[in-house]
Amino acid sequence: MRIGVMICHCGNNIASTVDVEAVAAAAREFPDVVFATDHMYACSDPGQRKIEEVIRELKLDGVVVASCSPRMHEVTFRRAVERAGLNRYMFEMANIREHVAWISLDRKRNTAKATDLVRMAVEKLRVDRPLTPKSFEVQKRVLIVGGGVAGIQAALDCADGGLDVVLVERRQAIGGIMSKLDKTFPTIDCSVCVLGPKMVDAGQNPRITLHALSEVEEITGYVGNFDVKIRKKSPFVDWNKCTGCGACQEKCPSKKVPDAFNENVSLTTAINIPFPQAIPKRATINADYCLRLTKGKCGVCEKICPAGAIDYEMKDEIVTEKVGAVIAATGIDLFDYKKCGEYGGGRYPDVITSLQYERMLSASGPTAGHIKRPSDGKEPKTVAFIACVGSRDRSLNRPYCSGFCCMYTAKQAILTRDHIPDSRAYVFYMDIRANGKGYEEFIRRAQEEYGVEYVRGRVAQVIPVDGPNGPQMLVRGADTLLGRQVELKADLVVLAVGVEAAHGASALAEKLRISYDAYGFFLESHPKLRPVETNTVGVFLAGACQGAKDIPSSVAQASAAAGKVLALLSKDKLESDPQIALVQAIRCIGCGKCERTCPFGAIRMRELRDGSLRAEVVETVCQGCGICSVTCPVRAIQLQHFTDSQLLAEVNALCRTWDETTES
Partner 1 sequence: MSVRLGYYPGCSQGSSAAEYDISTRACCKALDVELVDVPDWTCCGSTPAHTVDHHLAGALSARNLRQAEGAGLASVTTPCPSCLAALKTADLHLAEPAFRTEVERLLGGPAPGHVDCKSVLQVLYEQIGAEAVTAKVKKPLAGLRVAPYYGCLLSRPPALMAFDDPENPVSMDALLRACGAEIVDFAYKTECCGAAFGMPRLDVMTRLSARILGAAVEAGADCVAVACPLCQMNLDLRQGQVDSAAGRAASNLPVPYFTQLMALALGLSDADACLNKLVVPLEPALAKAAARAREAAAAKAAKEAAKKQSKPAAADAAKPEAEKEASCA
Partner 2 sequence: MKTIDLESSRDTAFMDAVACESGQELKSCYQCGNCTAGCVYTHDYDLPVHQVIRLVQLGQKEQALSCRSIWLCATCQACTTRCPNNIEVARVMDVLRHMARRQGKTPERLVKTFADSFLKSVARHGRVFEAGLAMTFAIKSGKPMQDAGLGPAMLTRGKLAFAPHEPSNQAKTEVAGIFDRFAAGKPACHAEPTAATTEAKQ
With CA atoms as reference, report the closest residue to 521 among 547, 503, 553.
547
Q: Is 463 in the site for partner 1 (CB under 8 A)?
A: yes
Contacts with 258 (C-beta within 8 Å, 6 or more apart), sequence order: 264, 267, 268
Task: Among 12, 132, 240, 395, indicate the residue that binds partner 2 (CB under 8 A).
Answer: 395
Per-residue binding letters, 327-346, with partner 1 (x by CB under 8 A): --------------xx----
User: Is the CB of 462 or the CB of 602 nearer to partner 1?
Assistant: 462
Other C-beta atoms within 10 Å of 621: how many? 18
* Contact by Cβ (8 Å): 232, 211: yes
CB of 166 to partner 1, least distance (A): 46
Q: How far apart are CA 655 and CA 643, in angstroms?
A: 18
Burial tier of 388 (Cβ tally within 10 Å: 0-12, 13-18, 19+): buried
Per-residue binding letters, 500-539, with partner 1 (x by CB under 8 A): ----------------------------------------
Helix ranges (DSSP H) in 266-386: 291-295, 300-304, 354-361
Residue 478 contact partner, candidates partner 1, partner 2, none, CB within 5 to 8 A by sort of partner = partner 2
Selected range binding partner 1 among 125-133, 243-251, 396-404, 464-472, rule: CB under 8 A: 464-472
Peptide bond before residue 186 is cis, with ω within 30 degrees of 0:
yes
With CA atoms as reference, report the closest residue to 546 among 353, 387, 403.
403
Q: Is 274 helix (H, G, I), strand (E, B) or coil?
A: coil
Q: Is 479 in the site for partner 2 (CB under 8 A)?
A: yes
In 169-266, DSSP assigns E strands to 183-184, 189-190, 208-211, 214-222, 225-232, 257-258
Task: Among 79, 251, 458, 593, indicate the residue that binds partner 2 (CB under 8 A).
Answer: 458
Selected range binding partner 1 among 78-86, 172-180, 457-465, 557-565, rule: CB under 8 A: 457-465
Give the Cα-Cα-Cα angle 365, 179, 441 (nearest 5 degrees): 95
Q: How far apart are CA 619 and CA 60, in angstroms?
A: 30
Task: Among 457, 498, 520, 538, indicate the residue that binds partner 2 (CB under 8 A).
Answer: 457
CB of 385 to partner 1, least distance (A): 20
Selected range binding partner 2 among 253-261, 416-424, 471-479, 596-604, rule: CB under 8 A: 471-479
Q: Is 393 in the site for partner 2 (CB under 8 A)?
A: yes
CB of 353 to partner 1, least distance (A): 18
Half-sphere exposure of 600 (CA within 13 A, CB side): 21
Q: Is 444 in the site for partner 1 (CB under 8 A)?
A: no
Torsion on CA atoms 489, 495, 496, 501, rounded to nearest 10: 170
Per-residue binding letters, 45-74, with partner 1 (x by CB under 8 A): ------------------------------
Selected range binding partner 2 among 98-106, 453-461, 502-510, 622-630, rule: CB under 8 A: 453-461
Q: Is 403 in the site for partner 2 (CB under 8 A)?
A: no
Q: Is 470 in the site for partner 1 (CB under 8 A)?
A: no
Chain-centre distance for alpha carbon 623: 21
Torsion on CA atoms 579, 585, 590, 592, rounded to nearest 10: 10
Q: Is 498 in the site for partner 2 (CB under 8 A)?
A: no
Selected range binding partner 1 among 284-292, 405-413, 463-471, 623-631, rule: CB under 8 A: 463-471
Total residues at interface with partner 2 (CB under 8 A): 23
Q: Is 51 helix (H, G, I), strand (E, B) or coil?
A: helix
Residue 314 contact partner, candidates partner 2, partner 1, none, CB within 5 to 8 A by sort of partner = none
- Which DSSP string corresponds to 462-488? EEEEEETTEEEEEEEEEETTTTEEEEE
* Contact by Cβ (8 Å): 590, 643: no
Per-residue binding letters, 346-385, with partner 1 (x by CB under 8 A): -x--------------------------------------
Q: Is 478 in the site for partner 2 (CB under 8 A)?
A: yes
Task: Among 16, 435, 469, 480, indicate the residue that binds partner 2 (CB under 8 A).
Answer: 480
Q: Is 655 in the site for partner 1 (CB under 8 A)?
A: no
Residue 459 contact partner, candidates partner 2, partner 1, none, CB within 5 to 8 A by sort of partner = partner 2
- Interacting residues with partner 2 (CB under 8 A): 342, 388, 392-396, 430, 456-461, 476-480, 483-486
- Interacting residues with partner 1 (CB under 8 A): 341-342, 347, 461, 463-466
